[in-house]
Chain A
Amino acid sequence: MTTLKIDYKNIYYPPGGILMWIIIFLELITFGMALVAFSFYASEQPELFHHSRLHLNTTFGAVNTVFLLTSGFFMANAVLEFKENNRNKSSLYFKLAMLGGLLFLILKSVEYYQKLEAGLTPETNVFFAFYWLLTAFHLIHVIMGLVILVWTNYGMMRKISDTSIEDVEACAAFWHMCDLIWLLLFPVLYLIL
């Protein structure tokens, strides 16, 4: 059984590909700056932000973190198995990663439903404007990530497949990027400010 090798030490070939890493940096800067702006407004209106934050469900946020981390764990294993040419096992881990993403979407939908029922919309105040903007933008990334996962998994399981390790790594890098963004959003939005 052969193991696929890439020279990751080459500056042009980070795991996932240089283009994907440029996207990851751009996304981190975008979300990072939005979180800095959120912090700025929180320091300007501490009472409003404190009382608004109490309306967020920390348990939902923590469970969603677990869903994404579990999904990321399975994705990392999927890449590993693909490198070892174990496509069936890799596909199984792909599906488990997708399940984690789906559970995240379901819980997020429940959370959004509760917020809308309580009349907490983006127009409510500046806290909820940031909450909706940041979490919805992140959610779009998760949905996009799921589409990429489904497509890559379908491609690699075809009888005549041209899916390469670079494709699988790029797909995994995008999926992990959703974890990275959430790991910044969760504490700032739900826990501290």
Chain B
Amino acid sequence: MKKSLVITYGTLILLTWTTALISASNAISEITFFLIMGISAIKFLMVAFQFMELKKANPFWKTSLSIALALIILLIVFVG
């Protein structure tokens, strides 16, 4: 097992439980809303760049996926 994959996996699990704890402990305010969506975006990018090895790909693919994710998250946040 590659060390970077183990670290990524550990961080992803930690972030998942952090998100669950944040949502369970607070009433959903604007800050927790942004925090939860921010953590989800980080997890999304970690899976794409580390597990899917997008970090090795041409910058076009890295940029495109990051822009697509940013657009989806921003639309969800501002429409909602």
Please give the residue numbers on chain A whose beta carbons come within 8 Å of chain B beta carbons, in ascending order. 8-11, 14-16, 21, 25, 28-29, 32, 35-36, 39-40, 42-43, 58-59, 62, 65-66, 69-70, 72-73, 75-77, 79-80, 172-173, 176, 179-180, 183-184, 186-188, 190-193
CB distance B47 to A176 under 8 Å? yes
CB distance B20 to A62 under 8 Å? yes
Please give the residue numbers on chain B whose beta carbons come within 8 Å of chain A beta carbons, in ascending order. 1-2, 5, 8-9, 12-13, 16-17, 19-20, 23-24, 28, 32-33, 36-37, 39-40, 43-44, 47-48, 50-54, 56-58, 60-61, 64-65, 68-69, 71-72, 75-77, 79-80
Q: A75 to B33: give the CA distance in the assembly, Å.
A: 31
Q: A126 to B56: give the CA distance in the assembly, Å.
A: 42
CB distance A58 to B24 under 8 Å? yes
Q: How many A-B Cβ pairs are below 8 Å?
A: 126
CB distance A187 to B36 under 8 Å? yes
Q: A175 to B71: give the CA distance in the assembly, Å.
A: 23
- Which A residues touch B76, using CB under 8 A? 32, 35-36, 39, 188
Q: What DSSP secondary structure best describes chain B's contact surface?
A: helix
- Which A residues touch B60, using CB under 8 A? 11
CB distance B52 to A187 under 8 Å? no
- Which B residues touch A9, using CB under 8 A? 56-58
